[in-house]
Structure 1
Amino acid sequence: MGQPTWLWSLGALVLGLLLSAAAAFLHHQSLQRAEHTRLERLAERSFDAVENQLETCGLLVRSVQALFLSSDVVTAVEFEAMYANLRPGELFPSLQAIGFAERTDRPAIGAEPDGREHYLTVLVAPRSGNSRLVGLDIATQPENLAAARFSRDADRPVMSAAFQLVQRAGMPGPNDGITIRLPVFSGGPQPRDLAERRARERGSLAASFRVSRLIEDALPVEALDRFDVRVLDVTDGGDKQLYSENPTPTAVPADATGQLFARELSYGGRTWRMEASADRDDSAAAWLLPVLTFGIGALASALMATLAWSVAGTRARALALAKDLSAQYRESEERFRALNELLPALVMLARAEDGQLAYANQACRDRFSIGEDTRLVRLADLVEDMALRERIVAMADEPGAIFNEPVRLRAPGQAAFWATLSVSRIELGGHPHLLAVANDITELRVLSEELSYQATHDSLTGLYNRREFERRLNAAIAALDAGGPRGALLYMDLDQFKLINDTSGHFAGDQLLAQLAALFAGILPADAVVARLGGDEFAILVENTDEARAMALAERVRLEIDGYVFGWEQRNYTVSASMGVVMLDGPGLSQRALLAHADTACYMAKERGRNRVHLFSEDDSETTQRRSEMEWAGRIREAINEGRFLLHYQELVPLWHGEQAEGVHMELLIRLRDENGGMVSPGAFIPAAERFGLMPQLDRWVVDTALANFSRLHPSGKPVKLCAINLSGPTFEDDSFADFVLQRLEDYGVSPQRICFEITETAAVSNMARAVEFMQRLRSAGCKFSLDDFGSGMASFGYLKNLPVDFIKIDGSFIRNIETDPVSYSIVRAVTDIGHQLGLQVVAEWVADDRARDLLRGLSVDYAQGFAIHKPEAALCFRNQETVNRN
């Protein structure tokens, strides 16, 4: 059934009027959004202007600092001349004065000596209007004094809190001011650390500004006209007002009555909050264009009312839909571009047909120095490797292709850098494009290579370490089992090396080992694998050789060492070595057996007079190995039965938390007395105990003894807050050991939270699954775990994410060299940062002096352990036994 024509016309008219009203409303909303965007940009420019003004003021102080760096003595005439040449008053109307305060122990004239540190102002420019500053002791101004000390410790510009300018006291207008300070050091290279900066400080250089004038001069004129601006100092948790256009300013909330823009600016150790508020424009002019839009829509509605309702309705809906889709597309594109512009990753979009860049975000443009016209650059040309370039170009014809590999990127005229590059083929607007995202991993690769080297090489000699040598030996055994050529294992031990250590010290012994390592390079074949296994023990693996050539090579090495004279501090030492040779001449060999045979052959060389080469044979093995095993196994078991093992302790101290008020943090160390009461070095019996499977028995003795005497460990009587106990790898592989620990904790009433077990990184990584299971079992009861010797054999930081530990203890070889070796310093810093990111506490061992302690504190290491902290001593429960043995 049809309806009257006028009814359809009336419906079309009403619809047209409604659409016109909606269009007018949307127009008004659009104008308001445009105004908001303009105000937002103006506010951002204002905030940037103030921030840039602070940076420029800091550069002014830095330029004056250069005068002091170039001259040990700066006179008042030179200081005034410098000020006149710089003419800072023209660039900084808010500048009040530039002054230099000399660091001294003497107070200001007329003040009583108090033994404190003072900073007396001796140089001021300009003198006019600032004469009251001469002789001013900034130690009397807490804000200025705090800024001076902070700038000295950080060696960067530091801004003080607002304070009353002395020279403007009693003058009209606001006299609130700030200072920007930099330290002045004595001549020489730039101080490297906190201690040197404090020692070489000559004084403090400062520029004082009227803060309200500084802010007002920085603000654009348009911002002053459009906004009510307020600046607050929120550094200390308060809202101290620094500047406001109105006498009694109030922040206008971002609602229907006004618009508020705010940002926090951080400079020089302080944080300012800037607020710019503007009233919403609801004037008649703001409604004029929307009203005009409505009038035009009403006229069009009247004309369209004469047409059929279906055509008019369809057209109106089509227009509304098109407008909505267009707005959505623009908003989506704007969001995409805004997000990508802020990303630190390099984002590129290239046309597939020619590879030219259609888009590059800000980080990419800055990294490759690309101008606004990105079409001048091709994506593939940024890749250094030609083969990878061809793969990226070929992706244009491969729908769904994805490229994700580490590559070296390079722009013309720039150095190449490593990055992870991900490229995928996508469709945009019906045309194929290549979307590429790259992340700079240069520093990560350098650190990874350094860590990889450290993981496979001995830090003292630069030779392979034991772990890498064993891996190479396993590979040679596998090759031999597969039908490869024969080889030989040479095992060398220096004769009477302990004499050098005892006579001239361990440092002299280390130097001898390093020199012998350099000597090997000239006498061994290029394909020989040389390693330091530990102490003065070296191993050489030679492949594709026979018995005669292996013995000749060993004899050549022995003769070279025998003819070597080591000089140290007016002493000369003759050096010799005993060597054992084992042939790799058949399948079915094992690494452990080869090393044991080589050790036996070396032992036989020593037994037969030292300074000789001995070839292993089965006859030697049957006699010597049996005697050696029975001797060490018997001595250790006898010592346990006779009670000749005892416990020493060494304290750990926090570097950041003051004294250990809540108790002592210590590590227990096992010691052995021989049959005559003399102390046996742990390095002598622990390797033997590990080799012959006695460490689990020793570990059980340590745990049982420590828990039974837990209240009698520290001689001071202080409670033990945390007690660290070392465990060997075979011990935590024992299925019954966790139950043993839990039972002893219950028997002796010791809280599990006060026990920390230390496991070496090498032992944990060698059997990751078993280590994690063991650690989780005891951690669920409350015990803690520490990863000992971290860095000595590391292959990846990724192990830390899989091991449930609470502490990591950095290997002492890095701490020993931290003061002289930049690589060791960087590794300690990296381990500390990553440990803290994983929520772990970091311990540094082998801390030998206060200098090392200060460096570690500067790196935010949590605990320190070493002779500079506490030398190991007998636990309280063993003091009487130790006295009896000495008597």
Structure 2
Amino acid sequence: MSLHKKLWIAIIVLLLLVFSGSFLVSTVSAKSYLEQQISMKNADNAAALALSLTQQGADDILLELTLSAQFDTGFYELIELRDPEGKLKILRQDEQPIDQAPSWFVTAFEINVDAGIATVQSGWQQVGTLTLRSHSKFAYERLWQSAQMLALIFLVAMLISGFLGGQVLKRILKPLDDVVEQAQAIGNRRFITIPEPSTLEFKQVVSAMNEMSARIKHVLGQEAKRLQKWQREAHVDKVTGLNNREPFMKSVDAALESDDVNATGSLTLLRITGLARMNQLFGRAAMDGVLSEVGNELNRIVMSHSRWAACRLNGSDFAILAPRAMDPNEAAQQMQDGIRQVLEARSMDEGILLPAATTIYAHGDTIGSIMTRLDGALLANEREGESSISVAFEGDIQMQPVRQQMEEWREILEQSFRDQNFLLDYFPLVGLENELIHYEAMVRLKWQGEKLSAGQFLPWVNRLEISSELDKHVVDLALRSIETTGYPTAINLSVAAVVEPGFVSWIGERFTAKSAAAKNLWIEIPEAMAFRHIQNFKSLCKRVKASGCKIGIEHVGHQLSDLGNLSDVGLDYLKIDASFVRDIENNSANQTLLRTLCTVGHSIGVKVYAEGVRTEQEWQTMLEIGADGATGPGISLTE
């Protein structure tokens, strides 16, 4: 029972006790007063009537007529006259029951009065003794009316007091509602702070909870900075601030094996020719400054796009991985322009060439084949002595213009939505004991007898800006699947689920209609999108978690400095990006990084899973590090 109800019950009981006491005291006092007054009236009436009878000569007939007339007035319960020897001479008595008040009231408050007694004489001779008792029905009637009036006054007073008390109670308990909301948020791993109320007891509780939330935020922020520092030391070139070759190539490998919107994009190589000559001419320190500015410019380019990554492959070669970039010239042109601006600002552009080679990669390509065609195109470009951009195609195949491809894919996707050609493929995520945690549901497209992977059509869905429509379709597919199988199912949503205001309302309505299935649904948002639109992401988390759905972030590891923003989100899990899991058993730096990430996640009650696990060695290493589960080509669910 809630405190609010208990307080109301206490108030009602207290008011009832007050009323009962007041009613009892008032009624008993009124009863005593009436008894006293009736007793005095009986004595006075008996004396007056006896005197009247004495003056009439005490004739028996006249006595009887007078007493009968007096009794017939209806005010008396008993009138009797006895002779001096005690023999009854005249008796008039009303034996009808009292109906002016309820029987229970008459029984509870019985009125006992003394009868009036007087002597009737004839001269000096005593005729008899007169006994008179007024009827108590009038007293009961008056007493009952008084009790009713008292109850009515109490009822009105209780209603008024209840209204005023309700307002006061609401005002007093308002801080308690905030405390309860904060406690529930902390229980859901949302470490929020609220203003301290003026009520001393509530203030002490809120102060303690705020202190705990602030401490967790502080610790999380510190750990995020430490993770970022370790990541930079292990993965980042100290001069340029760009990724080193090894982590960059692992990112490329993970993109090629991914099954989402990042499975298709472009990869660009650019070479600064004459860098060795510039080192001799301007000095190493000056050139380190130039390279640092080049790194800042390339980082600026990739930071404006989700999941793009820049790298310094060697002394003079730079690369950009651009997932979802369907125009191979897009990233290459930005690289050339950015580096040229840096050199021109330093007046070092004379005699410097910036040849570049770019290519489109797709799901299923290999790093070897991509790098071979890029190296060949870059070498040919450099031999020509120009700062041009060469597009390296696979074999002799020339790609169609992007606009033409977009129109073709628009027709394919529009028809697929009409014909319900999308379906889900399922891959298990297993826990520490090889138990099923959930199935990852990857969207597929049936087209002309083939089943296309997500990496083949998602980039075009993204480019055609129909991601929200596909997200809704995937949610419906997953809910229907859960209703059929009962298995917990995870789906990947795009940035549209975060940035489009109508999506939160839509998914709330869906979850309300299918509340049972929603409790077995897991939703994942890419790390870059979650942190870029953190407030919208929090709104989505709040809505879906209200329906019992679990929510997490996938591809984690590239923005570790932003982990401090997760203290009040209420996440259920994180999924480590596959690029950090690649050959983890041989990479001590990544082991340290991920071990700390697991510790940080567990400290705020968040599960940490690994993506893209390919080998048993990787899985065992992730178990040692502290991961709670894994998914990938090397993971299978055994019965």
TM-score normalized by structure 2?
A: 0.44
Higher normalized helix content (fraction of residues): 2
Higher RCO, 1 vs 2 (CA within 8 Å, ≥6 residues apart): 2
TM-score w.r.t. the length of structure 1 is 0.33
- Greater Rg over alpha carbons, structure: 2
